[in-house]
Chain A
């Protein structure tokens, strides 16, 4: 019932469709334009779309567009405070736990959407521009699942910020400032063995930059965790952020 209620809120909401469309179209355009990039005097061309390496490249590129989904999720949660609909739903018989479960389900939907867009774009470009490698298309698909976990993680952080700040503009600012300024600055002041465990760094470790191994041979080994090492920690952070959101909602007046 509560999941249906969430769908009733988001399906007719134009802002949702505009941001989802922007996410898909921007990613599509970026991936499409990638083939004409020139590196060391050579066009990347079709080599960019070769399976299975395509998936890790796509997941890495898509991670830059996840912010859009974070912004959308913050809008969806802060709307509930602005319209006082969280308050009304509790009055109408929802528990705070159910409010959180509803938003958790929406974050799952958004992560599923993001993963599907990546899969769709991957298959389109892979099959049309590097059809010869189609037999290896399935090999790198778990990378897309890791990207889905990354989206879930960032959305859990977005939810916590939204619940704490309650106003959309300020919450979006805090979210982006944390990811782009606060945590990078914090990493500079922390030893490498510690900074790799910060949440945004953990989420980023799920979709490492393609060719990182090559970089490591040149610049020395990176201390970033491998995606498989980062996965349980990313899930733990996701659970922690949702748990904190629940506690904040439960302890404050609505």
Chain B
């Protein structure tokens, strides 16, 4: 049973469409990245899923059920900005959040320690730096050890050490079997920690699936013809193969091509050799998620 199912979700603000017919599923135990440029609909999607924005149409199901306050208590979520009472201390804010979540107030100490705010717990929230506010919001998501974490831009305002700590925290929680939904425009962050990814652009889903699949479709084969083989001949032969597309000349006489997922570089080598074409070199160029993202959102 999926942890979260979004079915044909749409949201309009006045005349602006923020989300158009979004459908996706998050499976248990996955680290699901929601990727997209600013304004792509990531926060709107999570806001609807978490019950603070009303969808114009479509449905949300958590744990296979209609969304309710009770099933939201099984989720720890940080949406957009850390939201706390400025005149309360970090500890008082977390005690309040624990009451709302119906979590054991003893989990407050663990949460504060997990984000390194134990020594500042009695300071008022209003005096915190952006990074400390973000850490407190992360601490709040951990209260009551929820099954699912929803983190919207969790590394906002954090220094490089803080970013690394959040990454290892996400990996540790994922290793404990928790499902994590992570929205970010930082591709490196997503590529390092996520098992699945959905790419949004202007409120529309451009691609979704396991990170390896998304990246595999972006892999290209690089071919270096033997010195006595004209590149044009190789290009012609490749163009004749139905499972090869987008053949492009690269620098230094090299050619690159996209190969369908059903075939691999060995198939390319064999097909060319059967036509009497010998290659001096053949390799796969793995594209980064960044390159694939730019391709998808071009």
Hey, which bits of chain A sit against chain B, CB under 8 A? 1-2, 4-5, 8-9, 12-14, 79, 83-85, 87-95, 98, 251-254
Q: Are B85 and A87 in contact (CB under 8 A)?
A: no
User: When chains A and B are docked, how far (Å) is the Cα of A254 from the Cα of B84?
Assistant: 15
26 contacts between A and B (CB under 8 A): A1-B99, A9-B96, A12-B87, A12-B92, A83-B83, A83-B85, A84-B81, A85-B83, A85-B84, A88-B84, A88-B97, A90-B50, A91-B52, A91-B72, A92-B72, A92-B73, A93-B69, A93-B70, A93-B75, A94-B100, A95-B68, A95-B69, A98-B69, A252-B54, A253-B54, A254-B53
Asked if B86 is at the interface (CB within 8 A of a chain A CB), the reply is yes
Q: CB-defined interface of B225-238 with A at 8 Å, one 1/0 digit per residue?
A: 00000000000000
What separation, in Å, do the CA atoms of A93 and B100 have in the docked complex? 6
Residues from chain A with Cβ under 8 Å of B70 in the complex: 93
Residues of the A chain whose Cβ atoms lie less than 8 Å from the Cβ of B65: none
B102 is an interface residue with CB less than 8 A from chain A: yes
Whether A92 touches B100, Cβ cut-off 8 Å, given contacts A84-B81, A87-B52, is yes
A5 B85 Cβ-Cβ under 8 A: no
Instruction: Name B residues whose Cβ lies closer than 8 Å to a Cβ of A.
Output: 47, 50-54, 68-70, 72-73, 75, 77, 79, 81, 83-88, 92, 95-97, 99-102, 140
Q: Which residues of A contact B73 (CB under 8 A)?
A: 92-93
Smallest Cβ-Cβ distance to A254: which chain B residue: B52
The complex places the Cα of A92 from the Cα of B94 at a distance, in Å, of 11
A87/B83 in contact, CB under 8 A: yes
The 9 A-B pairs at the shortest CB distance, nearest first, are namely: A93-B73, A88-B83, A95-B69, A5-B99, A84-B83, A254-B52, A93-B72, A92-B100, A8-B96
B54 and A251 within 8 A (CB): yes
Chain B, residue nearest A13 (CB): B87
CB distance from B82 to the nearest CB of A (A): 9
Residue of B whose beta carbon sits closest to that of A93: B73
Q: Is there contact, CB below 8 Å, between A90 and B102?
A: no
Closest to A97 in B: B69
Inter-chain contact A91/B99, CB cutoff 8 Å: no
A184, B218: Cα distance in complex, Å: 71
Given A83-B83, A83-B84: A90 in contact with B51 (beta carbons within 8 A): yes
Known contacts A4-B99, A12-B87, then 12 further A-B pairs from the complex at CB < 8 Å, ordered by chain A residue = A2-B100, A8-B92, A8-B99, A83-B83, A84-B83, A85-B85, A87-B52, A90-B50, A90-B72, A92-B97, A95-B68, A98-B69
Chain B residues with CB under 8 Å of A84's CB are 81, 83
